[in-house]
Structure 1
Amino acid sequence: MLVLTRKIGESIRVGDDIEVKVISVDGDQIKIGIDAPKSVDIHREEIFQLIQEENKRASKFNENALHLLSGK
């Protein structure tokens, strides 16, 4: 993991087209802004994990559903 120190108003670049900028710091909360192409999905970690779990559940083979769809 790369760890960088930035001040308010400073930013870092990820690749050629993603900028992460420190907007404000208030106690233990840091507000950041992310400028990225619309094709790049950006999620908070906890939301990303929920999406991953839901995708796993949705992709599991359900034999009962297959029988219902086949009419057997």
Structure 2
Amino acid sequence: MLALTRKAGERIVIDDNIVITIVDIKGENIRLAIEAPREIKIYRGELYDAIVAENRQAAVPAKDGILDVLKDIKVRKP
């Protein structure tokens, strides 16, 4: 991890195509502006963590009992 000290108006450049600018600092809050290509996904940390947790939950195999119930369901054709 790289930790930097920046002042308002200063920038950080990542890989020639991502620019992070410190827009404003008020107390413990820092306002950032991020310029990046559209194909690069940018998430707030807590939102990213929620997405990862939901994806892990979705990848958990279904319990055998649930699959047995689904196998017994008959679909009516119109």
TM class by shorter-chain length?
0.7 to 0.9
Does structure 1 residue 18 correspond to structure 2 residue 23?
no
The code of the aligned residue for 1:42 comes to I
Structure 2 residue aligned with 1:4: 4
- Give TM-score scaled by structure 1 length: 0.85
Q: Give the superposition deviation at 1:25.
A: 0.5
Unaligned runs of 5+ residues in structure 2 are 73-78
Runs of 4+ in 1 over 3 A off after TM superposition: none
Structure 1 residue aligned with 2:49: 49
Please tell me whether Structure 1 or Structure 2 has the larger radius of gyration of its CA atoms: 2
Q: How many residues align?
A: 69
Residues in 1 aligned to 2:45 and 2:15: alpha-carbon distance in whole angstroms: 20
Residues in 2 aligned to 1:17 and 1:43: alpha-carbon distance in whole angstroms: 17
Q: Give the superposition deviation at 1:22.
A: 0.1
Unaligned runs of 5+ residues in structure 1 are none
Q: Identity of paired residues, percent?
A: 36
Q: Give the superposition deviation at 1:13.
A: 0.8
